[in-house]
Amino acid sequence: MVEVKEKLEEVLAELRKTGDIEASAIVRRDGLMITSDLPPKVESRTVAAMTAALVGTAETCTSELKRGIFNEVVVESEKGRIVAIGAGSMALLVCLMRAEGNLGYVLISMERAAKKIEESLKG
């Protein structure tokens, strides 16, 4: 299990290198934290629960409105964006993005990371 956690922490460290991502976390779909590099002042359990709620709501809404498969949730705020995507059937990836960051580049980076997360949690 330590090996899996180390792999997941490496994925988050890679995301930080994009320059547009300030912090990130991998959470279970039921709202529990797996691992994060969130700032110490941030309550990570709350972030995990809210991420699961945001994505769950968006997935249900997408399905009910017959809009196809859910891709991502992007929350715009004064100081930046919060972006969340699925990372397989067990996990979600959420990133805090700089306000001036390139959303397209961040989404591509997150999709790559999500695949690595999914593979790590399978085996």
Residues of the chain with pLDDT under 70: 1, 123
CA distance 34 to 58: 21
Domain 2-122 in CATH 3.30.450.30? The answer is yes
Residue 47 buriedness (CB in 10 A; 0-12 / 13-18 / 19+)? buried
CA distance 70 to 60: 9
Which pLDDT score, from 0 to 100, does residue 98 have? 94
Which residue ranges make up each domain of the chain?
A: 2-122
pLDDT tens by residue, 73-82:
999 999 999 9
